Structure 1
Amino acid sequence: MKDGEHDWQAFVDLIERVLADEDLLPQVVAAVRSHVQEAATLPVSDITGHTRVLLTAAARALAGRRAPTEAELTVVEQLAVTRARQGIPIDVVLGSVRISERAIWARARELAETAGIPAERVLDARELYDDWADAVRARLIRAHREAPRQHDGWDRDAESMRRLLEGGSAAALAAAERGFTSGTGLWVLVTRPGDPASATALRRLTEAGGRGLAAVVDDTLVAVVTGRPAFGTGGAGQVVGIAGPVVAEELGVAHRLAVATVPAAEVSGLSGPVHISAVAPAVALLSRTDLAAALTAHHRAGRAVLGPAAGAVARTVRAWLEADRDAASVARTLYVHENTVRNRVQRFSTVTGIDPHSTFGGITAWWLCHSWTIDGGA
C-alpha cells in the first residue's frame, strides 16, 4: 500500500474511532443546546438521533471518497421537514450542524497529530468533507423551504403574543385588549414546539388558569394565563418551564425566565411542570456564559494536567455532586469502583484548588465540570 493510501486509511480509521467515542456525541449535543437557544427546548433524544445519523453518513462518505448518496440526502430531507414543522428556522438548523462539525474536526485534528498522520492528509479529508457538506446543506435548505408548516394550531394569536412578550407599556396595552385582568398576576409557560405530548401537557396546565393565550413564538410554544397553572397535571416526561406571577409589564422578563427553565430543568434531572424558582441556581449558572468562560480559562492549566482523563474526571465530579456526594451511588451509575469515584474527586480538587466538599466550592466545581463537558474539550 502506498504511503498516501496508508495515511488515508489511517485517517478514516481515526474518524471511526472518534465517532465510536461514547463521550463525544453527548458533548456535541450539549454544545448545540448550550449555544443555540432555539435548540435548548428540543428533546435531547431528538438532537442526538439526527446528529448521529449525519455524522455516520459523513464518515461513510469520507471512507468512500464520494459525494452523498440519494439515500443519505433523503434522510437530510427528513431532518429539514422535522425542523420546519417544529418551527426551527433554517439558519438555526445550519448553525447547529456547524457546531457539530467544529467539535468533530477539533477532536479529529488533535488525534491525527498524536497518531502522526500528516497534516496534508487531514486537509484533503476536510476538503472532501466540505464538498459533501455543501451538497447536504443545499438539500437541507431546499427541503426546509418546501416543507409544510404546522404548529398544532397554536400560532393563530402569535402577533398578540409577541406584543405581550415585549413587556412594558406595549404588553400592558395588549393585556388590556385581551381582557387579562388578574389581581394575582400573569403566568408564562414554555415548552417545545412540534411535539404533541408537550402541547398536550401545556394545554392541561392552562385549562384551570383562567383566561389565556397560546402561540408559537420564536420557535417555542408559549402560553400566557391569568391564573395559577395546575402544577400537578403536566406530562411527567415533558418539561414545561413556568415563570410568574408578574404584572403585564414584566411579561418579557418572565418569558426569558420560562425559556431558561427548560434546559435548566433537564440538567437538574426534572420533568413535568417546573417553576423557575425550582431551578434558579442552575438558570443563573447556565445563563452566564461569560462567567463560565472566565472560570474555564482560569482553570485551563488544571485541565491540561488532567489531559485525556479530564472528561472522565469532570463527569464523575459532576455526578458525585448531583448525587449529594454519594460515591457508592455514582459508582453504580458509572460502573466504576467507589475508590475510582473518590480518587477522581480528589484529583479534581488537587489540580484546580477547588474544595468540592464546601458549599460554594461545590457550586464552582459543578459549574466548571459542566463547562468542561459541553465545550468539546473534555
Structure 2
Amino acid sequence: MTTRPRDWEAIVDLIERVLADDDLLPAVVAAVRGHVEESATLPVSDITGHTRLLLTAAGRAVAARRAPTEAELTVVEQLAVNRARQGIPIDVVLGSVRISERAIWARTRELAEEAGIAAAHLLDARELYDDWADAVRTRLIRAHRETPRTNDVWDRDAESLRRLLEGGSAAALTAAERGFAPGAGLWVLVTRSGDTASTTAVRRLTEGTGPGLAATVGDALVAVVPSQPALRPQGSGSVVGIAGPVAAEELGVAHRLAVATVPAAEATGLTGAVHISEVAAVAALTSRPDLTEALALRHRAARHELGAAAEAVARTVRAWLEADRDTAAVARTLYVHENTVRNRVQRFAAVTGIDPHRTFGAISAWWLCHAWTVDS
C-alpha cells in the first residue's frame, strides 16, 4: 500500500506530536537506566542528551523520507566514541538503543490510534525508520570499534576526588554530580604513586568497572570506581589496597582503610590486589602509631639490653611467627641453625616478658618486632 501525500501529512503531524511529547523522553531514559545496568552509572543528562539527539534526527529523517545525513552520523560517531571511552561495551550501547526504540514506537502507536492513522501508513514510516536505524547502527559499531583503547577510563578530576574522599554530604553530592547510581556501593583503590607498575595494576583492576575518578593524593594514586574491581593477582610485586563497597558518605573511611591496607600488605608479604578484609588485624596494628610508640616505649629497656643483637632477634622472632612457628623453615630462610632460631625466640621472651607462644603474646611480639625492624 502506497502512502498518499495527504496521508503522509498525517504521519508528519504524528512525528511532530511524538517529538513534542514532554513525558516521552523521561520515560525512555528511565527505561534505559532500569534495564541496562551499565547505564545506571552514567549521568541522566548524558543519556537524555544523546537520546534527544537521536530521537530528533530520526523524526526529521522519517518525515523527509531520507537517509541520515553526514552531520547526523557525526553525532552518532561521537556517541560511540564517548561510550567506548567510558568503558561501555558496544552491545550495551545497542541494547540501550533498542530499549529506546521500543518505548518510542509504543508511544507512536498510541498516538496513531488516537489520530486514526491506518496501520499500513504507520508501517511505511516504520520501514523508513528501520532503514535509517540500520545506517546509524553500522556507524555506531564502526566508530566504537575504531576508538583507541587506552584502558584509561578515569576522569582525573582531583577536586571532585577530594570532595568524594571527604565523605559525608559533600561526597554524596559529588557522587550524584558524577552520575554514580544512588545507593550503589563505591570502591576505593590506593597504591604508591610514582611506580609505573602500580599505576598499571590499578588500571587493570578497574577495567570494566565503569567511569571513575583518579588522582594523586599525597604520595599515593587514589581511584574511586562505581563497581567491584577485578580482584585478581598482579605479577608486578606492587600492592593495591582496596576498600568497599561503601555508600558515598563513607568514602572518607574507605579511603583511610585502603591507605592502611598498603603497608599492612607489605608487612605480611602480600602483593597485587589486597582488600582491607585480608589484612584487617595487621592494618589495625600498623595504622596506630600512637599505640606502636607506647609499646616500643614500654620495652625500650629490653631493646637496650639486647644491644647490637636487637635487630637480628626481632627479625628472627617476626619471621618465626609469620612462618607459624616453623623453626626449621625460618632457619633455612635466614641461613642459621635451628638452635639459633630457638635461642633468639627465648632471648626475646626473657628480656621483654612477652610469651610469643600464647595468642595475644604472639600479637604483641609481632607488633613490637615489626616496630623495631622498621625503625632500624
TM-score range, shorter chain: 0.5 to 0.7
Distance 1:300 1:198 in 2: 37
Aligned residue in 2 for 1:226: 226
TM-score by length of 1: 0.57
Contact 1:161–1:217 (CA under 8 A) maintained in structure 2: no
Aligned residue in 2 for 1:341: 341
Question: Is the partner of 2:324 in helix, strand or coil?
Answer: coil
Highest CA radius of gyration, 1 or 2? 2
Aligned residue in 1 for 2:325: 325
Distance 1:357 1:233 in 2: 33
Opposite residue 193 of structure 1, the aligned amino acid is S
Opposite residue 221 of structure 1, the aligned amino acid is L
Distance 1:181 1:193 in 2: 29
**Structure 2 unaligned residues grouped into runs of 5+:** 1-151
How far is the alpha carbon of 1:196 from its aligned partner? 2.2
Between 286-295 and 172-181, the greater mean CA deviation after superposition: 286-295
Opposite residue 286 of structure 1, the aligned amino acid is T
Aligned residue in 2 for 1:249: 249
Alignment length, in residue pairs?
Answer: 225
Between 254-263 and 338-347, the greater mean CA deviation after superposition: 254-263
Aligned residue in 1 for 2:66: none
Aligned residue in 1 for 2:275: 275
Distance 2:162 2:323 in 1: 40
Contact 1:191–1:240 (CA under 8 A) maintained in structure 2: yes
Aligned residue in 2 for 1:164: 164
Distance 1:155 1:332 in 2: 49
How far is the alpha carbon of 1:238 from its aligned partner? 1.9
Superposed CA RMSD: 1.8
Aligned residue in 1 for 2:261: 261
How far is the alpha carbon of 1:201 from its aligned partner? 1.1
Question: Is the partner of 1:216 in helix, strand or coil?
Answer: strand
Aligned residue in 2 for 1:202: 202
How far is the alpha carbon of 1:153 from its aligned partner? 10
Q: 2:372 aligned with 1:372, yes or no?
A: yes
Quote the sequence identity (%): 75
Question: Is the partner of 2:206 in helix, strand or coil?
Answer: helix
Distance 2:242 2:202 in 1: 10
Q: 2:304 aligned with 1:304, yes or no?
A: yes
4+ residue runs of structure 1 moved beyond 6 angstroms? 152-155
Aligned residue in 2 for 1:110: none
Opposite residue 238 of structure 1, the aligned amino acid is S
Distance 1:328 1:168 in 2: 51
Opposite residue 171 of structure 2, the aligned amino acid is A
Question: Is the partner of 2:232 in helix, strand or coil?
Answer: helix
Relative distance call for 1:340 and 1:196 in structure 2 (3 A) is same
TM-score by length of 2: 0.57
The structure showing larger relative contact order (alpha-carbon pairs under 8 Å, at least 6 residues apart) is: 1
Contact 2:176–2:182 (CA under 8 A) maintained in structure 1: no
Distance 2:153 2:233 in 1: 21
Opposite residue 272 of structure 2, the aligned amino acid is G
Distance 2:256 2:311 in 1: 31
How far is the alpha carbon of 1:194 from its aligned partner? 2.4
* Deviation string, structure 1 residues 272-295 (Cα, Å, up to 9, x no partner): 000001111111111111111111
